[in-house]
Amino acid sequence: MAEKSGADILVEALCDLGVEVVFGYPGGAVLPIYDAMFRSGRIKHILVRHEQAATHAAEGYARSTGKPGVVLVTSGPGATNAVTGITDALLDSIPMVVITGQVPTSLIGTDAFQEADTVGITRHCSKHNYLVKDPARLGAVIHEAFHIATSGRPGPVVIDIPKDVQVATARYVKPGVIQHKTYRPQVKAPQSEIEQVVDMLAAAERPILYTGGGVINAGPAASQLLCELARITGAPVTSTLMGLGAFPASSPQFLGMLGMHGTFEANMAMNQADLVVAIGSRFDDRVTGRLDAFSPNSRKVHIDIDRSSVNKNVRVDLAIIADAGHAMEDMVRVWKARQHPKPDTSDWWRRIAGWRAVKSLDFPESGTEIMPQRAIRALWEATHARSPIITTEVGQHQMWAAQHFGFEKPNKWLTSGGLGTMGYGLPAAIGAQLGNPKALVIDIAGEASIQMNIQELATATQYRLPVKIFILNNEYMGMVRQWQELTYESRYAESYSDSLPDFVKLGEAYGWKGIRIEARGELEDGIRAMLDHEGPVIVDCRVAKLANCFPMIPSGAAHTDMILQANEVSGTMDDEAKALV
């Protein structure tokens, strides 16, 4: 068997693993790899304009297709620019393999040109990382990295490859089935634990299914199983930000998102439940609020593939370490085998109906001014029949999109949850469009956040990607301004977006179509013009400058301390809502 260069081994291993797209930016420390990819011609390379965008594009590709995203960047600043996206993927459990160049092995530790301790820098923000010093190990490492990135709780894996290893030669033998010596996630739960949670559900009077991104990561079948589990148990379903789409938003059993900007009914049901079954969610602080007041009278079950997430934030009564899909499949099977009747939860649903009647997502409107919530609803009305893929930046617009854009299917909602990364949406939309060429992909953005990676307009132009950007332009870093209003007596320190570009002209400069919407009566026609244009479009939708995102649970407060839209001025729950708690 002939020897090959490390770069050729890398490219062949990627092809063997089914990699079709790589997002990257070349530099001296990865030129041998770029040359090998060019000679091979088997992998499509997407040239981004910044390495952070490469990681977010890979995330968007991964989350919309279920395939791992792949990134290729050079050493030093190439690797450090990728750190934000690596951390984002770790917190949101996104399968990604990031290949970084490194200075030759003989120069490591000498502060050579464009040297950085990539393994040290990424140790705490990656699921695993490697520094490969022997080309003979490279093939096996690549295969193992993909196994780790996609198995168990998905996440980013970093492979740092010195330049001399890319040039040196070795034999490449495609490995068989990867079985890591120590990393073997438990995907099936013991039968006794499944039976226990089924019995708890059958006996509960006020159950709630609290679902997260782990359901989506478990694959489309898991979402179908969640629907069946909800049907046979009659339990209401709520979702984290990352879990939206795992359960149809149109279902009468769906209470909406819970947590800091969740619905009144979702948060009150969580507070008053006697049984919480958490599936693929991690009890993060944005969901729980004040821990000692979180669902105080409930028994809690936590189903998660990541053992380290269980009992980390909230102590539970039953921990089930398993893949969400496998666990729900077993729960449905046991429930039906035991011929459990659907529990009588009519009293529970009557209480939920009372909370729903508060209509916590309603918002005031007057004159021709566009409320941001209205803009999102208009966008949903015009596009939901096409089942679009929605990405977002981070801020108020992100929360409004989560509240008002109903998702019926998984893998259609791509947003930065755990890290809250401004600049995520546009590159993520590019990655999603590449993975789903025929889909309608829309980035719902804010005028501040979109500027974090706005250079990627050029990437969409270069690869003829018909991405749409819908900017809710209120001229503020809206969420920062809202917190300053509520917490810092309206001292708006540096939250006003001064010197904004003309987004229409900016889009046109990059070869995009630009549209501006300035009044409520223009919404329908403006959105239609965006959808009718075959190429990329950027929409500058001017919305109310001082609108706040409600409902809201202040940081560190309990679910019963929600601020509702109707009582925005007083900042408290109104008497009618209090009576329903």
> Per-residue pLDDT tens for 371-389?
999 999 999 999 999 999 9
Measure the CA–CA gap between 552 and 353, rounded to whole angstroms: 20
Burial 471-492 (b: 16+ CB within 10 A, else e): bbbbbbbbbbbbbbbbeeeeee
Mean pLDDT of 520-530: 98
Q: Are 316 and 174 in contact (CB under 8 A)?
A: no
- Choosing from 51, 144, 447, 456, the catalytic residue is 51
Q: Of 446, 425, 429, which Cα lies nearest the Cα of 376?
A: 446
pLDDT averaged over every residue in the chain = 96
pLDDT digits (tens, 9 = 90+) for 430-469: 999 999 999 999 999 999 999 999 999 999 999 999 999 9
CA distances from residue 64 to 57, 308, 388, 412 in whole angstroms, order as listed: 11, 26, 11, 7
* pLDDT band per the 50, 70, 90 thresholds, residue 578: low
479 catalytic, yes or no?
yes
- Choosing from 113, 179, 188, 524, the catalytic residue is 113
- Choosing from 4, 163, 412, 468, the catalytic residue is 163
Measure the CA–CA gap between 252 and 552, rounded to whole angstroms: 23
pLDDT digits (tens, 9 = 90+) for 35-79: 999 999 999 999 999 999 999 999 999 999 999 999 999 999 999
Measure the CA–CA gap between 222 and 228, rounded to whole angstroms: 10
265 phi and psi angles, rounded to 5 deg = -65, -35
CA distances from residue 379 to 356, 366, 442, 531, 549 in whole angstroms, order as listed: 24, 19, 10, 10, 18
The predicted pLDDT at position 575 comes to: 60
The predicted pLDDT at position 569 comes to: 43
70 phi and psi angles, rounded to 5 deg = -125, 135
The predicted pLDDT at position 579 comes to: 63
The label of the residue with tokens 């209120």 reads: 474
Measure the CA–CA gap between 396 and 472, rounded to whole angstroms: 9
Which residues are CB-contacts of 30 (< 8 A; sequence separation ≥ 6)? 24, 72, 73, 74, 75, 78, 99, 100, 101, 161, 163, 166
Q: Which CATH architecture has domain 191-356?
A: 3-Layer(aba) Sandwich (3.40)
113 catalytic, yes or no?
yes
| Cis previous bond, 32, omega within 30 | no
Q: Are 421 and 394 in contact (CB under 8 A)?
A: yes
How many CB atoms sit inside 10 A of residue 110's CB?
9
From the number of C-beta atoms within 10 Å of its C-beta (0-12, 13-18, 19+), residue 464 rates as: exposed
- Among left, alpha and beta (phi > 0; psi -120 to 50; other), residue 187 is alpha
Task: Kindly report each contact of residues 77-80 with a partner whose C-beta sits within 8 Å and lies 24 or more positions away, as own/partner.
Answer: 77/51, 77/114, 77/116, 78/25, 78/27, 78/29, 78/30, 78/51, 78/114, 79/51, 79/116, 79/118, 79/121, 79/122, 79/160, 80/116, 80/121
Mean pLDDT of 19-48: 98
pLDDT digits (tens, 9 = 90+) for 392-442: 999 999 999 999 999 999 999 999 999 999 999 999 999 999 999 999 999
- Does position 356 have pLDDT exceeding 80, yes or no? yes
The predicted pLDDT at position 561 comes to: 92
The predicted pLDDT at position 571 comes to: 46
Q: Which two tokens stand for residue 320?
A: 């089930």
- Does position 391 have pLDDT exceeding 70, yes or no? yes
What stretch(es) of the chain map to CATH 3.40.50.1220? 191-356
The predicted pLDDT at position 476 comes to: 97
Q: Which residues pair with 129 in a beta bridge?
A: 158
CATH class of 4-170: alpha beta
* DSSP structural state of residue 117: -
Q: Which two tokens stand for residue 7?
A: 């770069």
Q: Of 194, 139, 131, which Cα lies nearest the Cα of 164?
A: 131
Q: Where are the strands (E) in 26-65, listed by range? A: 44-47
The label of the residue with tokens 């890319």 reads: 166
From the number of C-beta atoms within 10 Å of its C-beta (0-12, 13-18, 19+), residue 507 rates as: buried
Which residues are CB-contacts of 452 (< 8 A; sequence separation ≥ 6)? 393, 422, 423
Strand, coil or helix: what is 6?
Answer: helix
The 96-102 sheet, strands edge to edge: 44-47, 21-25, 69-73, 96-102, 156-162, 128-131
505 catalytic, yes or no?
no
Q: Of 442, 53, 392, which Cα lies nearest the Cα of 241?
A: 392
Measure the CA–CA gap between 475 and 13, rounded to whole angstroms: 48
Mean pLDDT of 105-132: 98
How many CB atoms sit inside 10 A of residue 227's CB?
17
Measure the CA–CA gap between 412 and 383, rounded to whole angstroms: 12
Q: In whole angstroms, how large is the CA radius of gyration of the chain?
A: 24
Q: What is the 3-state secondary structure (H, E, C) of 438-478?
A: CCCEEEEEECCHHHHCHHHHHHHHHCCCCCEEEEEECCECH
Pairing state of beta strands 4-5 and 169-170? antiparallel
Q: What single-letter amino acid sits at 233?
A: T
Q: Which two tokens stand for residue 442?
A: 């829309």
- Choosing from 257, 268, 479, 573, the catalytic residue is 479
CATH number of 372-542: 3.40.50.970
What pTM, to 2 d.p., does this model score?
Answer: 0.96
- Does position 9 have pLDDT exceeding 80, yes or no? yes
What stretch(es) of the chain map to CATH 3.40.50.970? 4-170, 372-542
Q: What single-letter amino acid sits at 484?
A: Q
- Does position 498 have pLDDT exceeding 60, yes or no? yes
